[in-house]
Amino acid sequence: MTSTQPPLHALGVAALAAALREKRVSATETAQHFLARARSHQSLGAFVAIDEAATLAQAHAADARIAAGTAGPLEGVPLAHKDIFVTRDFPTTAGSRMLVGYRSPFDATVVTRLAEAGAVTLGKLNCDEFAMGSANENSAVAPVGFGAPAPVRNPWDTARIPGGSSGGSAVAVAARLVPAATGTDTGGSIRQPASFCGITGIKPTYGRASRYGMVAFASSLDQAGPMAHSAEDCALLLSTMCGPDPDRDSTSLDMPSEDFSRTLNDPLDGLRIGIPKEFFGGGLAPDVRGAVDAALGEYEKLGARLVPISLPRTELSIPVYYIIAPAEASSNLSRFDGVKFGHRARDFTDLEDMYKKTRAEGFGDEVKRRIMTGAYVLSHGYYDAYYLQAQKIRRMIADDFQRAFQDCDLIAGPVAPTVAWKLGEHGSDPLADYLADIFTLPASLAGLPGMSIPAGFGAGGMPVGLQLIGNYFAEARLLNAAHRFQQATDFHLQQPQGAQP
């Protein structure tokens, strides 16, 4: 690129795709540029696997397709994947010692669809073990350049957490190590790290994106989504990622993919934005509230109307989630027993002893905590008292949203009660992490689409995200509202100190 053009890492997905399509830069040059940035910012701990030869081979193939005139919509654009998606060309660990050294014989459907659109994989990104966490401090895998496991660091303040479980994805995008990344959201794991790192992330309606090849945490909640700088970039990625996958994912919706960019520029005149009173109580930090209120004021300037609503069972979402999700996790993680794949204890006396030692060595504290909780609530005598009751309240939470959507088109509020906290601050109190999910859990339990967009800054100059929640299949409307806000503000363009060359 010429000296008058911005550096490649300053470009988003849409701009970079255009530059590649117009042959202003090659896919190989682009891949080399981002690989160099990943190497020079290893101290952030974002990447857990990089294979330059595999990446450059994909880039050379992309250049050949561009030259032949058969380029896909994302041809040559480098992406990185949360290490919860299995990949043939890169190892998959799910952030756990249980899977260190594992290589999948196939790609996850989301990975395949992005590759078919021409995207080039830069590597795998750090995450909380089996996606269980809100801080990305639970990974048991050493990041690239580290000799031992280490937490991912927020590029806005490297003494703070990036959020989780998709913390590596959020940091890689925020620090301009990659223009976009995949993430997964079970209870807020796309939206919360996007908020803490000042980027855009969207969780689509449950079932919109295939879960095939995504290492399972809680199967009725897990959903894949993109993380990027802007709503426009997320729309391009989501259009590729979504679509039915009936032969491989029984929870995949029989809905064709759509062009989520088609309504990005529609005006917001008359848009009704619901403001749930439960999201603005005493637990919300004043600095976060100030940024969110200012963002809502900007929406009023754009022609939207704010409508007071109520989601009365918001507080119940925490106990409901932390019954249902661990219950599903205890079932999903039973496959990791040292028999067919993954870690196996070296010294054991019999099969039962192998199971016990393998799982004791392979799983971290947070994963063990959730397995034990899940096994307890599913056990005889407690299933009716806990798990069944939680499922009933989950239905009520979904009903609350449907009543609210009778009066509004979208719902807006904070993503988290505070900005990102210091590394280790919640180390001895896992409940503090759980409580930080209060605003993201309701939409996850209801299976609704939700997103986080940069909306300003709070204490310590840390980013604050605005959460937007839509009704089922309202991704295009969410992205439209986010895009118009980003046209009127520049929060999504701000770069942290940790992103500097």
Domains of the chain, earliest start first: 8-256+268-316+394-499 (3.90.1300.10)
Q: What is the DSSP letter of 10?
A: G
Q: For residues 469 and 448, what is the distance between their CA atoms, to the nearest angstrom?
A: 7
pLDDT at residue 102, rounded to an integer: 94
Average pLDDT, the chain: 96
The pLDDT confidence band at residue 302, using thresholds 50, 70 and 90, is: very high
For 249-267, what is the mean pLDDT?
95
pLDDT at residue 2, rounded to an integer: 47
**Considering only CA atoms, which of 192, 426, 222 is closest in space to residue 324?**
222
pLDDT at residue 340, rounded to an integer: 86
Least confident of 184-188, 294-298, 425-429: 425-429
Q: Which residues are catalytic?
A: 82, 165, 189
This prediction's pTM: 0.96
Decide if pLDDT at 48 tops 80: yes
**Considering only CA atoms, which of 471, 410, 427, 414 is closest in space to residue 192?**
414
Q: What is the DSSP letter of 244?
A: -
The pLDDT confidence band at residue 4, using thresholds 50, 70 and 90, is: low
Q: Say if CB 323 and CB 387 are below 8 A apart.
A: yes
Q: Say if CB 149 and CB 126 are below 8 A apart.
A: no
**Considering only CA atoms, which of 322, 287, 286 is closest in space to residue 134?**
322
Per the DSSP assignment, residues forming a β-bridge with 467 are 413, 452
**Strand order in 47-49's β-sheet?**
47-49, 120-125, 78-82, 180-185, 223-228, 200-203, 450-457, 463-470, 410-414, 272-276, 305-309
Decide if pLDDT at 1 tops 70: no
Q: What is the DSSP letter of 204?
A: P
End-to-end CA gap in the chain:
17
Decide if pLDDT at 23 tops 60: yes
Return the number of other C-beta atoms located less than 10 Å from residue 190's C-beta.
33
Amino acid at 356: K
Return the number of other C-beta atoms located less than 10 Å from residue 454's C-beta.
29
Q: Which residues, 6+ apart, have CB-to-CB distance to 31 below 8 Å?
A: 55, 56, 58, 59, 76, 78, 120, 122
Q: Say if CB 159 and CB 135 are below 8 A apart.
A: no
For 55-75, what is the mean pLDDT?
98
Q: What is the DSSP letter of 194?
A: H
User: 264 to each of 65, 233, 235, 259, how far by Cα in Å?
Assistant: 29, 11, 9, 10
User: 232 to each of 209, 298, 338, how far by Cα in Å?
Assistant: 18, 19, 44
Instruction: Give the DSSP H or E segment for 223.
Output: strand 223-228
Question: In 17-100, which ranges are E strands?
Answer: 47-49, 78-82
% of the chain beyond a pLDDT of 70: 99
Least confident of 106-110, 340-344, 429-433: 429-433
Q: Which tokens sit at 320?
A: 């409901």
Residue-wise over 250-273: b if at least 16 C-beta within 10 A, else e? eebbeeeeeebbeebeeebeebeb
Residue with tokens 């309202």: 474
Q: Say if CB 182 and CB 224 are below 8 A apart.
A: yes
DSSP secondary structure letters along 110-144: HHHHHHHTT-EEEEEE--SGGG--SSS----SPPT
pLDDT at residue 6, rounded to an integer: 87
Q: Say if CB 448 and CB 477 are below 8 A apart.
A: no
The pLDDT confidence band at residue 239, using thresholds 50, 70 and 90, is: very high
User: 426 to each of 20, 137, 328, how far by Cα in Å?
Assistant: 44, 10, 25
For 95-103, what is the mean pLDDT?
95
